[in-house]
Amino acid sequence: MTPQLCARLTRTDLVMTTRARVTLVSSQLRRAAIALALLGASACHGSSPHAAGAGPSPRGSKRTVIVLGFDGFARRYLDADSAPALHALARSGVTARGMIPSFPTITFPNFYALATGLYPDHSGIVNNRFFDPAHDSAFEYKKPVAHEAYWWGGEPIWVTATKQGAPAATMFWVGSDAPVGGVRPELWHSYDHAVQFSARVDTLLAWLDLPASQRPRLLMGYFEEPDMQGHRHGPDSPETHQAVLRVDSALAQLVSGLQARKLYESVDIVIVADHGMAQISPEQVVYLDDVVDSASVDVVTMAPNLSIRARDGDNDALLGKLRKLPHVTVWKKADVPARLHYGTSARITPIVAVTDPGWMIAWRHGKPLDLLGEHGYDNANPDMHALFLAHGPDFKAGTTIDDFPNIDVYDLLARLLGVTPAPNDGTLAPFAAVLR
């Protein structure tokens, strides 16, 4: 499939063959097309990556693997909220006590870490916004510039799969609408908030209805909740609980569709989140202009992880000023603790800071804080830990694993698909006791 064809996708162009034909192959697919049409037209430290081959891959495997990504689904939501589909999956599959996000604990770096097995320092996606001096260009996650290939390092799992003969399809997954290494998934859609969760699941199921020669073996779908409600109303609010139920309903719809196709017991399902969520308050804010003049600095990201440089180049003096702020930990990039695996990329600003849990940084002359939930804090904070569940024939039922870094998910997906992983920072070790 050519990038030009993908760029022309409309709501009825939901399923494409590997040779760029558009085919509607089932009543399920037609329902997905109609549902989408009604919504309108879219869209360091630390060691270097290890060599390929983190563990033995079942080379003859033809397993289908479905990955669902729930933005901002804190691990503790699974214990606090009634989410019947998630709980049922957990009882008959694998649950992690927590999945540790990469630093900074925000969306783009972490969904891409899950896909590549690379810390943000190594993948190049060091934040949701950053500046690349090599290209004299700014990355902005909501703008078309983010679709350029040069931002995206490493080899995401859809590229690994495609290169080794396992077709891939992605629905809104971070990075999958860029030609990473010149490769896109066979089927892909750029993010479009207007597409209802039910229509997204319809599309995933419709892809499974394709003829065997065109059917993807790796399917990945992204859902922006419960992150949005967690930000607006706080992690413990009724609105966030309802958002948890929304993604739980999406999972239930997927499971029902798989059961109707007699596929539920033969596919592997992996559910992940990028980070958790912490409660914040307008009373817990420190002000940057108490110690620096806004005209003297360039601020790339603000709170709770601050990326900043001195315009006159005197970052040592800036460091001294920032260290006067209460509830803020500040480092020169070379001094970021090794456990955070962050600080070697040229895309990281000379000064990096993070607030204490629940605190924010702002300008006194800026927009008043109007959120009640936030992430981006130190990944040692349990509130930042994310959801991980897995179910399928390759997993032992009713098992639990300890907290593990999210970079390990890439090797797991490669093992399930029976492909050899590219060099990455992760390991298969956390899953050794629960894999069949």
Query: Cα 343–349–352 angle (5° rounding)?
Result: 65
Residue 250: other Cβ atoms inside 10 A: 22
Our answer to whether residue 107 is catalytic in this structure is: yes
Contact of 70 with 247, CB cutoff 8 Å: yes
Element (H, E) at 315: helix 315-322
* Alpha helix positions (H), 132-194: 157-163
DSSP 272: E
Query: 298 has which bridge partners?
Result: 309
Contacts of 95 (CB under 8 A, 6+ apart): 78, 388, 389, 399, 400, 401
CA–CA gap between residue 436 and residue 393 (Å, rounded): 8
Q: Which of 95, 105, 107, 162 is catalytic?
A: 107
Give the strand pairing for 137-140 and 129-132: antiparallel
**Single-letter residue type at 393:** P
Residue 30 CB partners (closer than 8 Å, separation 6+): 24
Check: CB of residue 184 under 8 Å from CB of residue 203. Answer: no
Helix (H) or strand (E) holding 305: strand 305-310
The CA radius of gyration of the chain, in Å to the nearest whole number, is: 21
Query: What is the helix (H) or strand (E) element at residue 85, kind and residue range?
Result: helix 84-91
Distance from C-alpha of 234 to C-alpha of 248, rounded to nearest angstrom: 19
> How does DSSP classify residue 41?
S
Residues designated as active site: 107
